[in-house]
Structure 1
Amino acid sequence: MSRSEHMEQANFEEARKAEEQYHSKLYSEKEILEPGTWMSEPIPVVMELQERLLQLKKDLVIMDLGSGAGRNTIPLALRLKGSDSKVIGIDLLDEAVDKLRENAAEYGVNAIVEAQKGDAEHTNFGSDEYDYIIACGCLEHVSSEEAFVQVLERMKQGTRLGGIHCIAMNTNVQEVEMDSGKEVKTLIELNLSSTRAIEILEQVYQDWNVLDQKTVLQSIEEEKYEVPTEFRAQSLTFAVQRIK
């Protein structure tokens, strides 16, 4: 391994550790669907696309990749109560998986929700298994552009005809100290520009129907480092449907 490859690996591991620490603390201190954090409600487009699918069929097989404690997983499952649907939530952190199971029990959707531990970069999506795959806030945590493309290709392989992908990811990420406004070293594994991320997504999904594509500026106050910081990014949403 070359010196530059060693540095890239070290940077990836540093970013991964920082993200794990931040989310572990968040899941231990805050609850989903309660005011006060970005977990207070599901992402609207995630729910809207589920409704689109429910116009075609009652029973859905859904994967929520990078599900965390269930910000999207639980509302999706609540909408499917009474059906033979399945919502599989996958997350890298033990704390997230445990919390998702607790939340599924608390909200009465244990029969629908299946919580699994797994890394988005190495998840097996099978072949023609899913009606809906959600990947919100997880694909910027893979190790490289090549890994990003490989995950997308496996997601495509695992999706049934008519199935939908909802991808949301942070691009052009910056992190600054709240008090001083000084920019700090951004610890995120894959910090793509919006332009590059869209270029990759359009190429991979050139044979799918684009349902939604947009970028919006966002900022979130975080306690990720020794001092309070503000997370700034262009949030990219890209939704597509398999048509052949």
Structure 2
Amino acid sequence: MGASEFEQAREAEKDYHEKLYEERDILEPGSWMSKPLPFAMELLEKLLADHPSPVVLDLGSGPGRNAIPIAQRLQEAGNGRIVGTDLLEQAVEKLKENAAKFGVEDRVQAIQADVEQEAFEAETYDYVLACGCLEHVSSEDALLRVIRKLQEATRPGGMHGLSMNTDLRETVVETGEELPPQIELKLSEDQTRALLEQAYEGWEVLLRSGHEVEIEEDKYDEPTEFKARNVVFAARKPCSIHR
């Protein structure tokens, strides 16, 4: 993808999400933000069995679709905290507002950051979650670099939970006209799975799954339907490395 095409896709995604966050609230019916992703919460429960006080990193957290329920569960467990990062300032402010609204502000830290540029401290996190985030990096090489950086930031025995949209199709609802998908990293399901298997060689794979996604969006001048194959992948970092 060329620089101008990347910036066009980045701007389209920015405009769409800013409008969505203005019009819709998390954990309420009416959008894909109405509930957390089940696998994200299931991995958290698995983690809590061994780590009663985990530090969680939620990349591309938006206003807190996953981060707020995770913070609520950590509060219920009596310990732990979550760091939510997002490229959009509006998303970060909404996450702070929602943390206060749901009474978990002491569990949530919200940071504006570009995952491709951000530095993460080594062996800091027990659970790294990236849902709908990593398909917004600039290239396949950038994806692998980001994953390596996140792996270094993960403590031994920690988990990664990833969800990526692949094989994207966008059509105009009224006419069925196909549009070129406005997303930064356009990968097929097979490409994505191959890259993840490569990146997580030596880690214990906990989950491999996929499903169809269909969402009506208001991203362009007229309503469109977004379709994709969503790839879910989870893995655990080895507690020790044998050489």
**1:157 equivalenced with 2:152 (yes/no):** yes
Match of 1:223 among 210, 218, 221: 218
Q: After the TM superposition, which residues 3-82 of structure 1 pair with which residues of structure 2 at under 5 Å, given as runs?
A: 8-81=2-75
| Cα distance in 2 between the residues matched to 1:180 and 1:98 | 37
**1:139 equivalenced with 2:134 (yes/no):** yes
More displaced, 161-170 or 77-86? Answer: 77-86
Match of 2:125 among 127, 130, 134: 130
After superposition, give the CA deviation of every residue in 1:97-143 in whole Å (9 maximum; x if it has no partner): 00000000000111110000001212222211100000000100001
After superposition, give the CA deviation of every residue in 1:59-95 in whole Å (9 maximum; x if it has no partner): 0100000000000000000001163411000001011
- Structural RMSD (CA): 0.9
TM-score, normalization: structure 2?
A: 0.96
TM-score, normalization: structure 1?
A: 0.96
Aligned residue-pair number: 238
Secondary structure at 2:194's aligned position in 1? helix
After superposition, give the CA deviation of every residue in 1:180-215 in whole Å (9 maximum; x if it has no partner): 111012110001011111111101101001100111
Structure 2 gaps, min length 5: none
Structure 1 gaps, min length 5: 1-6
More displaced, 213-222 or 40-49? Answer: 213-222
After superposition, give the CA deviation of every residue in 1:29-50 in whole Å (9 maximum; x if it has no partner): 1000000100000000000000
**1:213 equivalenced with 2:208 (yes/no):** yes
Secondary structure at 2:29's aligned position in 1? coil
| Cα distance in 2 between the residues matched to 1:212 and 1:88 | 23
Secondary structure at 1:120's aligned position in 2? coil
Aligned to 1:114: 109
Q: Which runs of 4+ in 1 moved over 6 A?
A: none
Aligned to 1:236: 231
Aligned to 1:187: 182
| Cα distance in 1 between the residues matched to 2:72 and 2:22 | 23
| Cα distance in 2 between the residues matched to 1:131 and 1:27 | 28
Secondary structure at 2:116's aligned position in 1? helix
Aligned to 2:96: 101
| Cα distance in 2 between the residues matched to 1:17 and 1:59 | 38
Deviation of 1:57 after TM superposition, in Å, equals 2.0
| Cα distance in 1 between the residues matched to 2:181 and 2:51 | 43
Secondary structure at 1:102's aligned position in 2? helix
Aligned to 1:4: none
Aligned residues with identical type, % of pairs = 47
